[in-house]
Structure 1
């Protein structure tokens, strides 16, 4: 018997296909009958996404919702008698011998009896019938012989699937289109690419920081006398013979090299080298990058790298935070989202990086120095009990905050969250407001959206501006004609409500109409609630009790008035009076008792670079009379009257000056600058005995110096009243550490020179500069138009020693500026322009 080779191969292929079909059907039957879980393509803390493509995983899950007789299917499958594939391939090889058994081979080779038997068996296999039976089983399973699953009809089972997913996750379920998932995946890819660029830029910053730290350490070690090694060796090593060497030279030496020096033995050499290397290591590890604007060369690479990173991060602020990581799905796939549906609708988040050169980097530093110094700052500035520190360590700040927190600020925000009701007493200028805003943003991210700020009435607008600038939270001003509407809107939808202290009194809205819970309460200038008998203090106390979290903010050092301090602590912790009574008379006991509710840091504790100047914009809400005088001046087109409209003795600004001086009398001495003689007279009359001067045009140089000398000798709380054009030259007033600019000046150089009277060599305290500003007025217009001038002047003044004498070099036409401001204000109040 001989068989045609072509016929034989076709026969083998047919039988092989039946065996493979049988195996595939067997696998599908085993897989689907064993059941499965809902096929998940991604999950996080808030959501879980399920996709139902035509796959075995989907079929196995859907089997629980379909009435299938798996026993009958297994019985049908068992009726198909075919060998396993490996066994069949061996049989096929035997069968192929029959096609070669012809011609001379029939004479010289033995008959392939086994192969002939295999061929006969293959010819007896009814391949079409087997495929038909297997296809029937496949159809019952909802699949094809290509191992793809079709006709699963999850749409018909949607109700059962949804109920199962709700039971599985405990979350509501929504159905989305496959295209949405794929658009989300595409957006995710661009986000990941942007983050990869950010990480690369950050790696460059860290590399530059290491190089700068190494250079700083080397310079410090080179200028450090070797006698410092006495502290490491406890004076046991004689270092006199090595006094001519530097510490790096000793550290890099071998003992044999030092032993060549007269009087240096092997023991001395080894101990000196070990001490030098140990000290060098400590110095290197203790370095933090120092940015020196006056000596740019050593730190330019670091500043440039950091400028590139910070400017690129500005472009990333609208990127979704921690988007759900999903995989693509085939078109038409049913997708269910359990929990929060945060899938990105589409679009690209590509963020190409524009490299910044060194000159642009230094310009950026000039206006954003705080952010440069904030990078990598992780210090808390304070020690707290271990159990509190552990709770703080477990907190990761979340939410959207458009600023970089310093390490101590982040620590303060976490302290608030960990302890829930606290008093932050950080020194002025350390950003207490920012710490509160970080808490607001964090809680809003957790769904706790009702924040309430209580502050002096003059600071309401300040809070509103800060919240709008640094967060995405809506604000509701509980003041003015719309206060009731705003109050209802806040109670209904959340956000940050801003109220003055008067609104906390009995009979006011916060006391009588509050229907919602307060997630977080922030009380600014909290020392104003120190009198327990006043209605506003009682209102603050009541709100504190109602709030889940409460933070009191004050830069006034309340430790100096313990009784008032204890009142505020008692509002925050009802057990505090008892705790303090138990430790009365012991300083350490008092500190331990208040450690859980009180946190205070000073600038010298937390700012390594100790910025010599702290500037604060005080936006003061005008009184109706102020506005009336101002609009009259605008209609008349009288620029100087416009500037003076908010400066009368009864004005809101004059009240704010009194508040500043009363709230921080212990902080030091103050200089108030104004352009106008009329304001000088009002200030002198309002301030009474604590006012010195005035220093103004027409006052002789001798009388000016006498006023400065008397001011210098006076007690803390003294105020020197100055006309800015008269006092901006020729006086050194280091006794002052606070400056108030009553109104913005047309020339930023004039302000800079005035500030320089106190902020100059010999000043040992950080100087605070308060700019009193009125919103929606000539002052706001001036600030907007002068920002670029001020930044330009700042850069000029820093770069040139002649800036103090030639500030006009960077000024522009004041006449043009005045015309622009008057025109803009007339348009704002609806006054027609005049020819």
Structure 2
């Protein structure tokens, strides 16, 4: 593509017998149409990579055509003036668009480098206008790929290598793997090599070509479940996905709705594919849940969660779990570990290709594909598209389906096999199907309702690894120590006759815990007791729970968010507002009319995304079945209160399975409270529904939680 207007080649135009207004410059109406497309995208804030290239090509052709019109002596002054005026109109729209998005200004520079995609786009528009091009303009070759480093220069000084990783490398008795890039195979020439294809691929999804669901054909459910560990069972829709992995498919955009078990599918898929070591890049709020799911579904494998600089990691683990925020400092050693697979959870987090987060993920993915034949690559997200179809760009690059400029070899072969080009209308449904067959899997709850329980409670453990979390754990230890001291004083007062050496005395455990509970109730919000401790845990979880609710809302639509304390509700509402979400609130201080107006808005207004509800004030008497997902940011002290909250959406009129997501602070009393609530729930099932479940203790959750803390302090947990 020429870089100056004066270097534009002379072109001969094909003419027709009929005189038309555009005969003198047939490229101008094409430019006018294209610039309006770019302007419309910019006005909606959806100016993705393809439209940025389009902007650049329009600018070059306007400059080129202006020089041609000025230099053509065959034009009368009137014709020349009219053509220049029309070109000025296109240039004005370009300028307005660049003013809206100032990052476009650099694309207007005369010496701005251009890609093969831009040159192909220019060529195609000129051919559409009827121009006859020189042979060297018709054949456009791709630039040689540039060698990329996993660690950009700006992050080199931030890299850490945990001592445990050095030990793993030294423990390997074999030669270090050769991580140099293998020799590239010469790709065969294809009929579509000369076409710009990324724009048509995005368009194929934008227009929903074909109208079918965007989910690849999966194998039938195998006759026997050979994958589930003892006591567990994969659901039929999960089994079909895993069967595709067993048959050799290795790259997936798994876009199932939340609650359908994407994490479990990914964990088992790694086992089926033997993709170890496996890297899972996940949001901070679900790191602990990933470790738990690895232990649950592949108990023979070890997972390690990377925190901070990774000082406490298990270097010999099979699965390494890291959150997006700290990935940048671990790029070096992860890039040399010999990873055989990579999972990106909530993959829409990488849609902004200019962000360092996206660049880190894509650099690691490129290294894995360069060094591992046929690695397992999984992108998990219920919302691959948030603003525009070009949100697919980063995910497709991660999976190796495209390079950003063009389809990868496998996708190119599928497109070539259609026998069509973007000039054919039937190309678009065929192109969409080709991309889907690369590994897009999308199921909704209603699609697999027969596989699901009608109500599922899913726990999401979160790590409180900040100062707040450390203070909570310290407060727990101090409370346990205080009760343990009382216990020992009672034992000593009873004398040798009442001393218990081999085990704790349960009667005294209960007595001490009961006294502590009564004192805590009397103190209320004052002092350090079990109630203030649980409240602090709720405050510490507030933003993590709110962040998960935002992700959930973008995946499935409406979400009901329950919290017990007003300050947790306030923090969540502020977070939702900063994320651009409209919410309603149901609190105890509302009038009946305002509360009902809020509920009606949630159920009927598609623009309201989240209902923020008080666990006590909104737990009964409300119908909120417009949602099928509930987030429990804080735990209740009773199983009945939790059930009542979930049943705000799990009621007559609900046509989808309901999932309640409990946010639980790992390594705190929160975990024990959740366990105790489940025991109380089991008691109701046994007593009222006749289900065979273990009998639960008759003690309150508060008392049982305090007894648990005391046993821990005595070393008898």
Instruction: Give me the whole-angstrom Cα distance separating, in 2, the residues matched to 1:561 and 1:640.
Output: 47
What is the CA distance between 1:780 and its match in structure 2?
Answer: 0.5
The alpha carbon displacement at 1:760 in A equals 0.6
Please say which structure displays the higher CA radius of gyration.
1
Please give the per-residue CA displacement for 1:773-793, whole angstroms capped at 9, x wherever unaligned: 101112101122222211232
Number of the residue aligned with 1:625:
467
**Where does structure 1 lack aligned partners over 5 or more consecutive residues?**
1-380, 801-808
Cα separation, partners in 2 of 1:775 and 1:495, compared to 1, 3 Å: same
Deviation at 1:563, TM superposition (A): 0.7
Distance 1:556 1:616, change over 3 A: farther
Question: Equivalent residues in 2 for 1:606-755 (5 A)?
Answer: 606-608=448-450, 611-631=453-473, 633-634=475-476, 635=478, 637-648=528-539, 651-665=540-554, 667-688=556-577, 690=581, 692-755=583-646
CA distance in 2, matches of 1:786, 1:747: 6
What is aligned with 2:320?
Answer: 497
Q: CA deviation at 1:622?
A: 1.0
| In the alignment, structure 1 residue 432 sits paired with structure 2 residue 270 | no
Does residue 1:414 correspond to 2:243, yes or no? Answer: yes
Deviation at 1:534, TM superposition (A): 1.7
**Which residue of structure 2 aligns with residue 819 of structure 1?**
703
Distance in 2 (CA, whole Å) between partners of 1:821 and 1:735 is 35
- Superposed, which structure 2 residues align to 1:64-213 within 5 Å? none
Distance 1:394 1:827 in 2: 47
Asked if the contact 1:669–1:736 (Cα under 8 Å) also holds between the matched residues in 2, the reply is: yes
Does the C-alpha gap of structure 1 residues 764 and 513 become closer, same or farther in structure 2, counting only changes over 3 Å? closer
Query: Is this contact kept in 1: 2:222–2:239, CA < 8 A?
Result: no
Work out which of the residue numbers 528, 541, 544 in structure 1 matches 2:362.
541
Q: Separation in 1 of the partners of 2:574 and 2:538?
A: 13
Q: Distance in 2 between matches of 1:820 and 1:776?
A: 17
How far apart, in 2, do the equivalents of 1:638 and 1:751 lie?
23
Q: Which moved more, 1:605-614 or 1:769-778?
A: 605-614
CA–CA distance in 2 between the matches of 1:732 and 1:789?
Answer: 25
Q: Does 1:781 align with 2:672?
A: yes
CA distance in 1, matches of 2:214, 2:269: 19
Distance 1:563 1:481, change over 3 A: closer
Using structure 2 for the length normalisation, give the TM-score: 0.54
| Matching of residues 382-531 of structure 1 within 5 Å | 384=216, 403-417=232-246, 418-444=248-274, 449-480=276-307, 483-484=310-311, 486=313, 489-490=315-316, 494-505=317-328, 508-512=329-333, 514-531=335-352
For residue 521 of structure 1, report the CA deviation from its aligned partner: 1.5
Q: How far apart are 1:798 and its partner, in Å?
A: 5.1
Residue 566 of structure 1 pairs with residue 420 of structure 2: no
In structure 2, relative to structure 1, the CA distance for the partners of 1:521 and 1:693 (3 Å cut) is closer
Q: Give, in whole Å, the separation in 1 of the partners of 2:312 and 2:283.
A: 21
Separation in structure 2 between the aligned mates of residue 785 and residue 663 of structure 1, nearest angstrom: 27
CA offset at residue 750 of structure 1?
1.0
CA contact (8 A) 1:416 1:422 kept: no
The change in CA–CA distance for 1:831 and 1:625 in structure 2 (over 3 A counts) is farther
Q: Matched residues in 1 for 2:280 and 2:605: separation?
A: 37
Secondary structure of 2:648's match? coil
Q: In structure 2, how many angstroms separate the alpha carbons of the residues matched to 1:714 and 1:383?
A: 29
* Cα contact 1:441–1:473 (8 A) shared by 2: no
Alpha-carbon offset, residue 678 of structure 1: 2.6
Q: 1:553 maps to which residue?
A: 380
Aligned match of 1:761 in 621, 646, 652?
Answer: 652
8 A Cα contact 1:520 1:549, kept in partner: yes
User: C-alpha separation between the residues in 2 aligned to 1:453 and 1:402?
Assistant: 25
| 2:460 aligned counterpart, secondary structure | strand
- Report the CA distance between 1:474 and its aligned residue: 3.9
Counterpart secondary structure, 1:773: strand
**Number of residue pairs matched by the alignment:** 429
Helix, strand or coil for the counterpart of 2:538? coil
Q: How does 1:217-256 map to 2 (within 5 A)?
A: none
Change (3 A) 1:476 1:437: closer
Alpha carbons 1:613, 1:759 under 8 Å: kept: yes
- Give the structure-1-normalised TM-score: 0.47
Aligned Cα root-mean-square deviation (Å): 3.7
Separation in structure 2 between the aligned mates of residue 771 and residue 401 of structure 1, nearest angstrom: 25
CA distance in 2, matches of 1:750, 1:831: 32
- Check conservation: 2:446, 2:656, Cα contact below 8 A: no
Tell me how far 1:574 sits from its aligned partner.
4.3
Q: For residues 832 and 394 of structure 1, what CA distance do their matches in structure 2 show?
A: 46
Mark the CA change 1:473 to 1:811 in structure 2 (over 3 Å): closer, same or farther: closer
> Which blocks of at least 5 consecutive residues in structure 2 are unaligned?
1-212, 369-374, 416-420, 480-527
Taking a change above 3 Å as real, the CA distance of residues 536 and 697 of structure 1, as seen in their structure-2 partners, is same
CA displacement at 1:463 relative to structure 2: 0.7
Whether the aligned pair in 2 keeps the contact of 1:673 and 1:739 (CA below 8 Å) is yes
Q: What SS does structure 2 have at the residue aligned with 1:568?
A: helix
Aligned counterparts of 2:585 and 2:462: Cα–Cα separation in 1: 24
- 5 Å-filtered alignment, 1:786-805, equals 786-794=677-685
CA distance in 2, matches of 1:559, 1:393: 35
Deviations 1:216-239 (Å, cap 9, x if unpaired)?
xxxxxxxxxxxxxxxxxxxxxxxx
Contact 2:582 2:607 in 1 (8 A): no
CA distance in 2, matches of 1:402, 1:535: 42
User: 1:604 is matched with which residue: 446, 463, 477?
Assistant: 446
Q: Aligned-pair distance for 1:568?
A: 0.6
